[in-house]
């Protein structure tokens, strides 16, 4: 009993740090929450106001004249880029996992699986570098004009393709970052399925692919769902790669898939310097409110995924520590 | 499951010509598509690795390791030093609470604290790193007046690393057979001694893997450092607070958008170093695990 009492406080630091993050961000952002109200989430005007004027009192808070903070464009940008990323990443992740688990010669399997797991460790700023140096010129010169011309009949595919910085580029880079996570997790789940079901299906005359598709894949349905949700959380909070390829639009709703956007996470990095110009501090507090909203979204997303896993009886997956 | 089994059987026991053709197409197409997804993923990843390693290798020279940054040229000695200091600092800060939480979750799973702690830790993994960075910025950098500093940056990285260390050490401790604990208790050894002297040494390779993994995440992080570490072109003078510090990932992000060849070369060199280090740690962590698995199989 003594030992347990001894390490419990130390262990609690892990849980407390999450609570402390939420509470302190909340306290810091509270004046902004009161000043902005619900308009924060549904308006599209991030405006620091006249920074050379004298501060005025509004809603009981001291702000610069004309200041208003609405982040609808951030919420839209974050959700759309994540949606694109997940729509691309799930089929690719599951397909790659199937190929890794059954498709390649057994000799190569550990090596290629190892390769995919290592890819999950590549830092996001390196993905950003790749997107900035190689992907954006390639997309803006070759792919986007072609897509706008040939696939213009699909909604949001038509129109100006811009400079290559934007929603679709963002989605592509994000999907590349989360595909290894989904692929590694689903592969591990596929490999650890009981062999009996597979043998039964094979004995009935099913081919290896039919077994994989109709027997194994439905068996790991929950893992696919949970890893998708967790990967969604990753994409929602991704900062550096998005910062380098999104175009960092301000107060701007996308009108096609090539439009520059900002996400909540990248906006915090790109705007803190200018927010510090606001002598009342309301801009910095509003950025804290952005961080708070982002934190809340990621807590909800991750919480749902965790509860899904706990209650599905799937003890925590041991597929890499990112889970 | 039932529906699936019937589907498969129906396809197998009635092998009409059309059906067998459809099966063939379905099988061929299925393998083709799954191979295609893997090949595309592999191609994109190889493109990233080639970009980083080829251009990075061209940019690497002795000066990178021996000189500090001057504006956007010079070397990366300050950034290499800074990255090592804040990453190691973060890991050292994260090990005691992370390991304690792992021990608690593995050994004392009966009370109300363990499930709560596990849930909070699992959710903390998913909290975006920029949120953690901004939290450290408003609390330590601004409110406590530490300014951009090694201490603030290390604490930001420590908070990020906590759940990884917690998770991996819990998993590693759970793999220690329960019979060993029972044997210890039967000999009259207290729980604390059983954990520290029997379970912990056996779980050490797993724990070490987790620590290495957290280290590789810390080395590759950028977002939580931008407003906690700041940037400095000079070597660290030993102050924990009130002194900004350089780090490699900043160079990648900030120098690649500069219009100078020299700045780009430094960015590629930094990308080479960071990626190489992260992949190296990844390989080392796997080797620790495999070697341990091998040793257990032989004994």
DSSP string covering chain B, please?
-HHHHHHHHHHHH---HHHHHHHHHHHHHHHHHHHHHHHHHHHHHHHHHHIIIIIHHHH--HHHHHS-EETTEE--HHHHHHHHHHHHHHHHHHHHHHHHHHHHHHH--SSSHHHHHHHHHHHHHHS-HHHHHHHHIIIIIIIS---S-HHHHHHHHHHHHHHHHHHHHHHHHHTS-HHHHHHHHHTT--HHHIIIIIIHHHHHHHHHHHHHHHHHHHHH--HHHHTTT---SS---S-SSS-----HHHHHHHHTTSS-HHHHHHHHHHHHHHHHHHHHHHHHHHHHHHHHHHHHHH-
Tell whether B237 and B108 lie within a shared domain: yes
Tell whether B22 and B88 lie within a shared domain: no
Tell whether B11 and B146 lie within a shared domain: no
Whether B27 sits inside 8 A of A210 (CB atoms) is: yes
Give the nearest chain A residue to B139 (CA atoms): A24
Whether B27 sits inside 8 A of A122 (CB atoms) is: no
Tell whether B17 and B68 lie within a shared domain: no
Give the nearest chain A residue to B9 (CA atoms): A204
Whether B159 sits inside 8 A of A17 (CB atoms) is: yes
pLDDT of the residue at A43: 82
Mean pLDDT by 10 residues, chain A (323 residues): 84 92 93 85 82 78 81 91 94 93 86 84 92 91 83 77 85 93 88 86 87 88 87 90 87 83 90 84 89 92 83 52 44
Residue A220 sits at φ, ψ, to 5 deg, of -105, 20
Of B59, B82, B99, which marks where a domain is finished? B59
Question: For the segment A231-263, what is each residue's pLDDT rounded down to a tens digit?
Answer: 998 899 899 999 999 888 888 788 888 888 889
Q: Which residues of A197-214 are buried (b: 16+ CB within 10 A; e: fewer)?
A: ebeebeebebbbbbbbbb
Distance from the Cα of B259 to chain A's closest Cα (Å) equals 13
Tell whether B233 and B290 lie within a shared domain: yes
Residues of B in contact with A134 (CB under 8 A): 47, 51
Mark the ranges of chain B whose per-residue pLDDT is less than 70: 1-15, 292-299
Whether B126 sits inside 8 A of A299 (CB atoms) is: yes
Whether B121 sits inside 8 A of A236 (CB atoms) is: no
pLDDT of the residue at A226: 86
pLDDT of the residue at A295: 93
CA A277 to chain centre: 29
pLDDT of the residue at B15: 66
Looking at chain A, the domain(s) classified CATH 1.10.3720.10 span 72-275
Of B59, B77, B100, which marks where a domain is finished? B59
Give the nearest chain B residue to A244 (CA atoms): B253
Q: Which of A10, A124, A179 sits opposite B97 (nearest CB)?
A: A10
Tell whether B222 and B269 lie within a shared domain: yes
Which range marks the domain in which residue B15 is found? 2-59
Question: For the segment B151-191, what is each residue's pLDDT rounded down to a tens digit?
Answer: 999 999 999 999 999 989 998 999 889 898 899 889 988 88
Whether A14 sits inside 8 A of B34 (CB atoms) is: no
Of B59, B76, B101, which marks where a domain is finished? B59
Tell whether B54 and B168 lie within a shared domain: no
Tell whether B140 and B270 lie within a shared domain: yes
Tell whether B252 and B190 lie within a shared domain: yes
Tell whether B70 and B30 lie within a shared domain: no
Residues of B in contact with A301 (CB under 8 A): 126
pLDDT of the residue at A130: 94
Q: Which of B52, B210, B282 sits opposite A126 (nearest CB)?
A: B52
Count of domains forming chain B: 2
Distance from the Cα of A73 to chain B's closest Cα (Å) equals 19
pLDDT of the residue at A313: 56
Q: Which of A95, A130, A239 sits opposite B128 (nearest CB)?
A: A239
- CATH 3.90.700.10 is right for the domain spanning A72-275: no
Tell whether B164 and B269 lie within a shared domain: yes
Interface contacts A/B by beta carbons within 8 Å: 291
Tell whether B141 and B273 lie within a shared domain: yes
């Amino acid at each position: 009993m003594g030992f347990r009492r001894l390490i419990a406080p130390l262990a609690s630091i892990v849980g407390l740090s999450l609570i402390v993050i939420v509470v302190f961000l909340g306290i810091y952002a509270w004046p902004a929450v009161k000043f902005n109200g619900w308009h924060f989430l549904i308006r599209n005007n991030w405006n620091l106001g006249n920074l050379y004027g004298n501060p005025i009192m509004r809603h009981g808070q001291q702000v610069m004249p004309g200041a208003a903070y609405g982040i609808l464009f951030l919420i839209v940008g974050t959700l759309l880029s994540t949606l694109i990323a997940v729509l691309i990443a799930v089929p690719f992740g599951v397909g790659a996992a199937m190929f890794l688990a059954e498709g390649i010669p057994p000799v190569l399997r550990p090596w290629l699986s190892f390769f995919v797991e290592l890819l999950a460790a590549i830092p996001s700023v390196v993905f950003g570098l790749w997107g900035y140096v190689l992907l954006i010129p390639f997309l803006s010169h070759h792919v986007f004009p072609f897509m706008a011309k040939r696939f213009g009949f699909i909604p949001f595919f038509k129109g100006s393709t811009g400079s290559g910085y934007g929603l679709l580029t963002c989605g592509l880079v994000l999907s590349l970052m989360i595909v290894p996570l989904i692929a590694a997790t689903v592969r591990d789940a596929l490999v650890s399925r009981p062999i009996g079901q597979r043998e039964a299906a094979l004995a009935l005359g099913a081919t290896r692919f039919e077994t994989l598709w109709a027997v194994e894949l439905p068996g790991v349905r929950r893992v696919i769902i949970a890893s998708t949700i967790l990967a969604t959380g990753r994409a929602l909070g991704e900062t550096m790669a998005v910062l380098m390829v999104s175009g960092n639009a301000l107060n701007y709703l996308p009108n096609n898939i090539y439009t520059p956007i900002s996400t909540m996470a990248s906006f915090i990095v790109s705007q803190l310097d200018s927010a510090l110009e606001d002598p009342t501090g309301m801009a910095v507090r509003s950025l804290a409110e952005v961080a708070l909203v982002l934190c809340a979204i990621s807590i909800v997303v991750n919480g749902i995924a965790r509860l899904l896993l706990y209650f599905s009886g799937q003890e925590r997956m041991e597929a890499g520590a990112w889970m | 499951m039932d529906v699936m089994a019937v589907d498969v059987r129906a396809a197998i026991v009635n092998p009409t010509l059309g059906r067998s053709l459809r099966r063939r197409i379905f099988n061929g197409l299925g393998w083709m598509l799954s191979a295609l997804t893997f090949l595309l993923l592999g191609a994109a990843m190889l493109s990233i690795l080639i970009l980083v390693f080829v251009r990075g290798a061209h940019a690497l020279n002795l000066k990178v390791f021996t000189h500090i940054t001057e504006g956007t040229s010079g070397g990366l000695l300050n950034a290499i030093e800074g990255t090592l200091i804040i990453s190691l600092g973060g890991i050292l800060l994260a090990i005691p609470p992370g390991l304690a939480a792992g021990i608690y979750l593995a050994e004392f799973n009966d009370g109300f604290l363990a499930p709560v702690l596990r849930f909070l830790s699992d959710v903390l993994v998913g909290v975006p790193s920029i949120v953690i960075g901004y939290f450290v910025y408003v609390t330590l950098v601004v409110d406590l007046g530490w300014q951009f500093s090694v201490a603030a940056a290390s604490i930001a990285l420590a908070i990020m690393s906590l759940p990884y260390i917690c998770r991996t050490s819990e998993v590693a401790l759970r793999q220690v057979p329960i019979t060993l604990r029972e044997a210890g208790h039967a000999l009259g050894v207290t729980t604390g001694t059983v954990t520290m002297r029997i379970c912990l040494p056996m779980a050490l390779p797993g724990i070490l893997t987790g620590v290495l993994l957290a280290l590789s995440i810390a080395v590759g992080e950028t977002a939580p450092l931008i407003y906690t570490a700041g940037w400095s072109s000079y070597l660290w003078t030993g102050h924990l607070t009130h002194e900004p510090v350089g780090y490699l990932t900043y160079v990648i992000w900030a120098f690649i958008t500069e219009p100078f060849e020299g700045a780009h070369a430094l960015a590629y060199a930094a990308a080479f170093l960071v990626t190489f280090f992260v992949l190296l740690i990844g390989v080392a962590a796997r080797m620790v695990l495999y070697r341990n698995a091998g040793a257990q199989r032989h004994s």
